[in-house]
Amino acid sequence: MSATPSAAAPAFRGRIGCDMSSGHYAAPHRYRLHLSLPCPGSLRIAVTHRLLGLGDLLPVELLPVVPDTPDGGFTSLRPLYEASSHHHRGPAAAPVLSDAWTGRVVSTHAPDIERDLALRFGSAGPELHPRADARRIEAVGRLCTEGIDEAAQSAGELGIEHGAHAEPLGTLLDALGSLERCLGEQEFVLGERLTAADVQVWTTLVQLDTVHRWHLDADAVDRIAAHPALWAYARRLAAHPAFGPLLDLDAITRRHHARCRGQEAAGAAMQIVDWYASAGRPTT
């Protein structure tokens, strides 16, 4: 079974509009985020939320580390799902952006939620989605999803005994190599300022080192680690107060082992980044 099962299609994909003519428009205290931080989508949203300083405008409800229903959902989210779709089928999964005025779900699609936080609520924070960089940010998102996450998952599923694992591993290394070349020349993925592309890349690297690595052999992990500029960048962002303090490595491990039936490989013992040390946090 896969190390990180592919996410189902989002149950809801509402968007936050730009003014009151939209059904959902940006209003202080109207919305709530429901996040389980070991989930990479939730972690990406949480980093964005903290970068933008939205704590007072848009509260966050933290969910358990591991889903508490047999279908992989959360009991506390079931009323929201039922109010939004009568007799909802499927898990009441996180992340969720909910509307406190209606008691319904707006969106369960992490990229849309992250983008709407930045575009509709983020006037006081960094410009994470510059209009001029929209296509480049989308391209980085595809690189992370297809070139890193999906490729690493496929390589781990096929296992070190299966010769076909070389193809997805090659895809993964190509993606990491492109980021390595980029970050060898500039501070952030798109240049000299932090954008949503960096949030995406960083959360993807966290997932690669703390989850996918468990199912890769030692040689694969050595080759993944051999990108010094990329992993130095990951450590540098971990030291940022909007990034590293949100990490709970024990929680990520618990969530992974609760979901995963794949075989552990030699790479499991070869952590690439000391995430807590990079964040200036105690390891115990």
What is residue 163's predicted lDDT score, i.e. its pLDDT? 66
Cα separation, 123 vs 238, in Å, equals: 24
pLDDT at 8 over 70: no
What is residue 18's predicted lDDT score, i.e. its pLDDT? 78
Cα separation, 154 vs 113, in Å, equals: 27
pLDDT at 63 over 60: yes
Cα separation, 43 vs 61, in Å, equals: 13
What is residue 166's predicted lDDT score, i.e. its pLDDT? 85
Range of lowest pLDDT (20-29, 56-65, 178-187, 223-232): 20-29
Burial degree of 92 (CB within 10 A; 0-12, 13-18, 19+): buried
CA atoms in the 13 A half-sphere facing the CB of 31: 27
Average pLDDT in the 74-100 region? Answer: 93
Cα separation, 162 vs 159, in Å, equals: 6
160 — pLDDT class (breaks 50, 70, 90): low
pLDDT at 6 over 70: no
Chain segment 200-251, per-residue pLDDT in tens: 999 999 999 999 999 898 999 999 999 999 999 999 999 999 999 999 999 9
Query: Among candidates 88, 85, 60, 59, which has minimal Cα distance to 73?
Result: 88
pLDDT at 2 over 90: no
Mean pLDDT of the chain: 90
Tell me whether strands 60-62 and 104-107 are parallel, antiparallel or unpaired.
unpaired
